Amino acid sequence: EVQLVESGGGLVKPGGSLRLSCASSGLSLNNAWMSWVRQAPGKGLEWVGRIKSNSDGGTTDFAAPVKGRFTISKDGSKNTLYLQMNSLKTEDTAVYYCTTDHLYCSGNCYRYFDNWGQGTLVTVSS
Amino acid sequence: DIQMTQSPSSLSASVGDRVAITCRAGQSVSAFLNWYQQKPGKAPKLLIYAASSLASGVPSRFSGSGSGTDFTLTISSLQPEDFATYHCQQTSNTPWTFGQGTKVEIK
């Protein structure tokens, strides 16, 4: 069974930085595509960014609102995913989830998020 | 970015009702469409992937249909544990985008 546990959320001032962690058990992060998804209070889900598996290059992609401010990395020895958030804005306030970005192929190949962490709350406020 | 629009934004229904939620994409996403269920204070849970494939462990009262731009999530007989918010998501083009969510409440 895959378990993802996020940590690192908290209160930070605008312009500040925060690093979120997502510890994985039951799944090697080196072999998985992983995404971060956030949800502002009372709002819908927003994809933040992803990191590909090592065999697919380990590259990252980001949504426009966070591009240039957020980075994603992973530590294979700790089996932990990270989201480094810099130059934080009040609109970054949200619960942040890490999730497995799973590929299923049957004719076409389809992506979906099948394992989610419990989320960690980031509040950006002065 | 591909905009995803769900309707209705909320609905009230009774146990045993048949419920349908629609999701419209701003451009064709073929069958690259997923549905998630989210309960208050919890992470989303995958229900349907590839527009109509039931995720593992999901009851058969849930079904998905559609392709291109118009999709539907149907609950054939609403159960007490189904009261939640439902989200659609396209994975045709990055950035992956979600609908705004549909909240299913008890009538």
Interface contact flag, B46 A113, Cβ < 8 Å? yes
Q: Which residues pair with B38 in a beta bridge?
A: B85
Question: In the structure, what pLDDT confidence band is assigned to residue B57 with cuts at 50, 70 and 90?
Answer: very high
Q: Which residues of B touch A61 (CB under 8 A)?
A: 94-95
Question: Percentage of residues in chain A with pLDDT exceeding 70?
Answer: 100
Can you tell me the mean pLDDT for A110-124? 97
Question: In the structure, what pLDDT confidence band is assigned to residue A107 with cuts at 50, 70 and 90?
Answer: confident
Answer yes or no: is pLDDT of A28 > 90.
yes
Burial class (CB in 10 A: 0-12, 13-18, 19+), A39: buried
- Report the SS3 class of residue A59: coil
Can you tell me the mean pLDDT for B90-98? 96
pLDDT tens digits for range B10-46: 999 999 999 999 999 999 999 999 999 999 999 999 9
**CA end-to-end span of chain A, whole Å?**
40
d(CA A8, CA A22): 9
Please tell me the predicted confidence (pLDDT) of residue A116.
98
Q: Which two tokens stand for residue B85?
A: 């918010």
pLDDT tens digits for range A31-52: 999 999 999 999 999 999 999 9
- What is the phi/psi pair of residue B60, to 5°? -70, -5
Q: Which two tokens stand for residue B34?
A: 């997923």
Count of residues in chain B: 107
d(CA A56, CA B72): 33
Instruction: Choose, out of B96, B97, B100, the residue to mutate when testing the contact with A (most A CBs < 10 Å).
Output: B96
Answer yes or no: is pLDDT of B73 > 90.
yes
Asked if residue A124 lies in contact with residue A15, where contact means CB atoms within 8 angstroms, the answer is no
Q: How many Cβ atoms sit within 10 Å of the Cβ of residue B100?
A: 17
Distance between A71 CA and the closest CA of chain B, angstroms: 16
Asked if residue B4 lies in contact with residue A80, where contact means CB atoms within 8 angstroms, the answer is no
- ω before B8 within 30° of 0 (cis)? yes
Q: Which residues of B touch A48 (CB under 8 A)?
A: none
Please tell me the predicted confidence (pLDDT) of residue A7.
98
Can you tell me the mean pLDDT for A104-118? 94
Question: In the structure, what pLDDT confidence band is assigned to residue B89 with cuts at 50, 70 and 90?
Answer: very high
Asked if residue B74 lies in contact with residue B48, where contact means CB atoms within 8 angstroms, the answer is no
Question: Percentage of residues in chain A with pLDDT exceeding 90?
Answer: 98
Please tell me the predicted confidence (pLDDT) of residue A23.
98
SS (HEC) of B18-49 = CEEEEEEECCCCCCCEEEEEECCCCCCEEEEE
SS (HEC) of A11-49 = EECCCCCEEEEEEEECCCHHHCCEEEEEECCCCCEEEEE
